[in-house]
C-alpha cells in the first residue's frame, strides 16, 4: 500500500467514477494502485477498462500494480489558468509503469528541475477531500 496524502501539493479534482472504473477509484482511496490485465494476450491495460485494447478480449481482470515506474517523457508547465495558475511550475509527465503501460500524471515532491527522463518514480495518492484519491508519482529511492 502507498501513502494517501491529505495535503496535496497540486489541485485535486474529484474523479468521476463509472462502473468500469469504480474499483480503481475505491482502491486509490485506500492507497492501492490497480490496473487490468488481459487473460488472453497477457497485456497490462491502462487506463482501466474491461475490454483489452490490444486483442479486444473481454477476459480481463483487476490486478494490483507495483506503483513503480520511470519517467518516459515530461513537460514543465510554467503558465496555467484556473486553480493551477498559483502552483506553477509543475511537472506533467508520462510514467512507464513496471507492468508496461504509460500513465499521464504529475511528478510531485521534488523541484521541477530535478525531473529527468528515465528517473525512477513511485506512486503516491493525493486525497481529494471527497473520499477519493488521485495517483501521482514522486522520485523513488530517496527519503520523503
Please tell me the distance from the alpha carbon of residue 132 to that of residue 87, in angstroms, as a whole number: 21
pLDDT digits (tens, 9 = 90+) for 103-124: 999 999 999 999 999 999 999 9
Please tell me the distance from the alpha carbon of residue 47 to that of residue 94, in angstroms, as a whole number: 13
Q: Where are the domains of the chain?
A: 4-139
Q: What is the mean pLDDT of residues 4-27?
A: 86
144 pLDDT exceeds 60?
no
Residue 129 has what pLDDT?
84
Please tell me the distance from the alpha carbon of residue 28 to that of residue 36, in angstroms, as a whole number: 14
Q: Place 101 in a pLDDT band, splitting at 50, 70 and 90.
A: very high
- For the whole prediction, is pTM greater than 0.75? yes
Residue 49 has what pLDDT?
94
Q: What is the mean pLDDT of the chain?
A: 93
Amino acid at each position: 500500500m502507498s501513502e494517501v496524502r491529505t495535503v496535496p501539493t497540486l489541485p485535486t479534482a474529484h474523479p468521476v467514477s463509472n462502473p468500469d472504473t469504480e474499483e480503481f477509484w475505491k482502491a486509490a482511496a485506500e492507497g492501492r494502485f490497480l490496473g487490468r490485465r488481459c487473460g488472453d494476450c497477457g497485456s497490462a491495460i491502462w487506463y482501466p477498462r474491461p475490454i483489452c485494447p490490444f486483442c479486444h478480449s473481454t477476459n480481463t481482470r483487476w490486478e494490483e500494480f507495483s506503483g513503480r515506474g520511470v519517467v518516459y517523457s515530461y513537460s514543465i508547465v510554467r503558465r496555467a489558468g484556473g486553480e493551477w495558475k498559483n502552483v506553477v511550475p509543475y511537472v506533467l509527465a508520462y510514467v512507464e509503469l513496471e507492468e508496461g503501460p504509460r500513465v499521464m500524471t504529475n511528478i510531485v515532491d521534488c523541484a521541477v528541475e530535478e525531473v529527468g527522463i528515465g528517473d525512477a518514480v513511485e506512486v503516491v495518492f493525493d486525497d481529494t477531500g471527497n473520499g477519493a484519491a488521485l495517483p501521482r508519482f514522486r522520485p523513488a529511492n530517496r527519503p520523503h
